[in-house]
Structure formats: C-alpha cells, structure tokens
Amino acid sequence: MASLDSLVIFLFSTLFVTIVSSETPCPNFKSIISFGDSIADTGNLVGLSDRNQLPVTAFPPYGETFFHHPTGRSCDGRIIMDFIAEFVGLPYVPPYFGSKNRNFDKGVNFAVARATALKSSFLKKRGIQPHTNVSLGVQLKSFKKSLPNLCGSPSDCRDMIGNALILMGEIGGNDYNFPFFDRKPVKEVEELVPFVIASISSTITELIGMGGKTFLVPGEFPIGCSVVYLTLYKTSNKDEYDPTTGCLKWLNKFGEYHSEKLKAELNRLRKLYPHVNIIYADYYNSLLRIFKEPAKFGFMDRPFPACCGIGGPYNFNFTRKCGSVGVKSCKDPSKYVGWDGVHMTEAAYKWIADGILNGPYANPPFDRSCLRSEIKKESLYNQSTLTQACVKL
C-alpha cells in the first residue's frame, strides 16, 4: 500500500506541474476584442477621420519609438493593450474602422480616441460638448453589425466571443475630461459617475449574453498627475498638491471615487454571473506608484513634463499640441512618464501593463483569472486519466 500511495502522490504532483506550467500564459484566448477611448485606440479615429482633417496621432512624432511611424495610437509607441497582446501570445489588435482587407481572426478593436461611455445626446443635455459621436454604445452596435463578417454563424460567433479576452476600455475618462476642461464644478462631474458605471455594466452584461466569458475592466487613472490638468488647474496653493507625488489631490480623489464605484458594480456582476471572469485592472495605483518613485522605474523626477510639447513648466500648451507643426518630442521618451500632456509614453504604459499582468494591480490576479477555464478543463481530463491509472494499479 505504501508504494501505491507514493505512486498516487507522484501522479498528482506530476499532473499539477503540467497544469500550472505553460509557455503561453493564457493559452485559451484565441483573440482580443477591445472597446474604449484613446488609451486603447490603435487607429480607429484616424480611420474614421476625413483625409483633410486627420488627428495629430496620424503625424510624427507619434509612433516614433517602436513602430517608427504613426499608427493612430496616442503614444510614442506601444500602448497597454499591445503589451497585453504580447502577454497572451496574440498579434497587436488591428483597428476595425477604416480597415480594408484586415484579418480579424486574432482580434478586433473598436476603441476610438475621444470616445465617451455615455451617449452624445445625454452629455449635450447636461451642457457637455463631446468631441465624437462614437460612444461605447455605438462601438457595441458596430461590433454586433460586424459579426457576420467576423465569425459567420451565430454559434461560431458565440464561440469566438467566449474564447476572447474582452477589454472594456479604459472608457469613461472623457465623460469627465470634457466638463473638467470647461472648469465645471467637481460635484457636477461626480453626478455623471453612476451613469458612466451603468453604461459600462450594461455593455458587459450584453456581451455576457452574447457568450463573453473573460473581461478586463480598467478603472480611472490618477488624473491629478496628468500634465493637462496640472497646467489647467495650476495654483499657488501648495496644500492642493500631494507632497509625495506633486499631483493635484482633489482630482486624484475624483479618480478614486470613480474606481471605487466601478469595483462595487463589478462585484455585483460577479455574483450574478459566477461563471464569468471579470477582472478589475487598477490603472490608478499601477500608475501612481511611478509618480511616487519615478527613479525606481527609470524616469526623471518631478515636475514630470510632457515629452512631446512646448512651453510652460510642464512642456504643454493647449494651442500647440504634440503633432502640430514646430512641436518636437524629447530625445529619450523612456525617461518621461507623460507623452503629449494627456497620454503616457510607451515606457509608462509598459509599467502599467506589467502591474496588471504580473501583479499586484489586477483583481482577481490576471494570470489566474485568464487561466481558470483552461485549468478546469485540464483538471477534468487529468482526473479522468489519474482515475484510470489508479484502477489499473
């Protein structure tokens, strides 16, 4: 009996090692489906724009670091989603809009720079002027209309959606940016939060109904650290700045407020749909740690100027932005956290992605969440195999 027990233990340990060790971190993901705004846009705004009115992301120095040409990303190189694609062993996700003869078998992106979570009509009624009509709802409708071309039959589409990692943004930031840019009171902007959360939640719910099984849902950034806000709300009152980061405390507090409400809603959805993996991506703290200890991550110290811009203490000007004629970028973007005053550099995005993918800024942890369904399948198979082995003994 002792030898039999030893053999059983050996089989269990061998099978366990087989389950948890894999060269591909998330082998069950066959594609990435993305929604969101400029944080996730890989070229959709450029694809939707008139050739005579292209956004600045269509021009150098955007894209200079990695791709060596503009791609429509609001960055000098790769964005968070690109690092996620690398992590799960999939190609960079192509933009859907404006694409011709693109292969979407491994992923499709509907995120559009300037997009909002809420409908344009809703925002306009509240005196907020959106910069695009492509809201989250419009992106979802576009996705649904594209399904016959993406996957064919309803059953094939359900399988495709079920085997995909679905990225829900970041989305909602512009719903707050536009009124904050107009200096609307924070209490007025806070009133938008429940509606933004509801829009994200309803989109996730609808995608679950279409077969979605794994969602990565980012929270808000520490916007009080953003160059655009540090410029717009610059003040001589030192009490408004966090001494450990140099960021505006009240704006960061707002980012925390949104993220807490979002986390509460995701917890509610998890209880309703226990078979679905809903992963919260803590963009806030994954980025804030860089502002607290920039040298630790290879960045220059405060005041964190934009790499690409001109003028002022933060190298940013509202009338002459990155991509405009005569506006140059820094020599080494890898030393800068901010790229163009609003978005981060590839170097910063890489650290944010690392915090999400390798921890500790994902809940539940990303690697375990994305492997959960695969482990369950492997476990069922290995339990059967183990049982057969034991019977033979």
* Active centre residues (catalytic): 38, 340, 343
- Terminal C-alpha separation, the chain: 11
Nearest-CA neighbor of 113 among 67, 71, 145, 165?
71
Tell which phi-psi region holds residue 154, choosing left (phi > 0), alpha (psi between -120 and 50) or beta. alpha
Alpha-carbon separation of residue 379 from 156, 268, 273 (angstroms): 26, 28, 22
Q: Give long-range contacts, CB 8 A cutoff, 24+ apart: 142-147.
A: 142/96, 142/97, 142/110, 143/33, 143/35, 143/96, 143/108, 143/110, 144/210, 146/96, 146/108
**Residues contacting residue 154 through CB under 8 Å, at least 6 positions apart:** none
DSSP, res 156: H
Tokens linked to 8: 């059983």
User: What is the β-pairing status of strands 362-363 and 277-281?
Assistant: antiparallel
Helix (H) or strand (E) holding 264: helix 249-272
| Beta carbons of 62 and 127 less than 8 angstroms apart | no
At position 62, the amino acid (one-letter code) is Y
**Would you state the torsion angle of the CA atoms of residues 350, 356, 359, 365, taken in this order, to the nearest 10 degrees?**
-160
Residue 181 φ then ψ, to 5°: -65, -30
What b/e string do you get for 168-205 counting C-beta neighbours within 10 Å, with b at 16 or more?
bbbbbbbbbbbbbbeebeeeebeebbebbbebbbebbe
